[in-house]
């Protein structure tokens, strides 16, 4: 029963598509598979990580009222990127500068850094 159903279904598709249409469909399937399998290039991932860190400095600069150039990012938690597991991106970071420090969390759903706790003065050394 199953083989006859398959044969009937197959006969529906035979001759339904021209050679050009079949090649276009095969090309689309190949492009989709290549995109999913390969993912973004290494350079793209590194640029995204750098942009994420820059966004953190911009946010912390505003929250801490401190110039970006004076801030130091201290990764607290890092995870591997999806397609290049040797590249880490920060999900929790400490930021120090201008005698203050703060902790930020990366909100992956919204693509923004969120202040985890009020900005605190740094300890005197």
What does the pLDDT read at residue 82? 83
Stretch 79-90: mean pLDDT, rounded? 89
pTM for this predicted structure: 0.65
Largest CA distance in the chain: 82
For residue range 2-14, what is the model confidence (pLDDT) as tens digits? 555 555 444 445 5
Cα–Cα distance measured from residue 106 to residue 113, given in angstroms and rounded to the nearest whole number: 5
For residue range 102-117, what is the model confidence (pLDDT) as tens digits? 999 999 899 999 999 7
DSSP calls for 19-43: HHHHHHHHHHHHHHHHHHHH-S-HH
Residues 6+ positions from 53 with CB-CB distance below 8 Å: 73, 90
> What is the number of other CB atoms lying within 10 angstroms of the CB of residue 97?
21
């Amino acid at each position: 029963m199953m083989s006859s159903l398959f044969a009937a279904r197959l006969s529906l598709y035979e001759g339904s598509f021209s050679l050009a249409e079949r090649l276009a469909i095969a090309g689309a399937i190949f492009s989709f598979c290549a995109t999913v399998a390969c993912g973004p290039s290494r350079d793209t991932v590194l640029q995204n990580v750098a942009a994420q860190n820059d966004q953190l400095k911009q946010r912390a600069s505003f929250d801490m009222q401190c110039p970006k150039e004076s801030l130091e990012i201290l990764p607290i938690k890092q995870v591997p990127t999806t397609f290049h597991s040797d590249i880490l991106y920060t999900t929790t970071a400490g930021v120090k500068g201008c005698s203050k420090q703060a902790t930020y969390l990366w909100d992956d759903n919204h693509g923004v850094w969120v202040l985890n706790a009020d900005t605190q003065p740094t300890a005197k050394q």
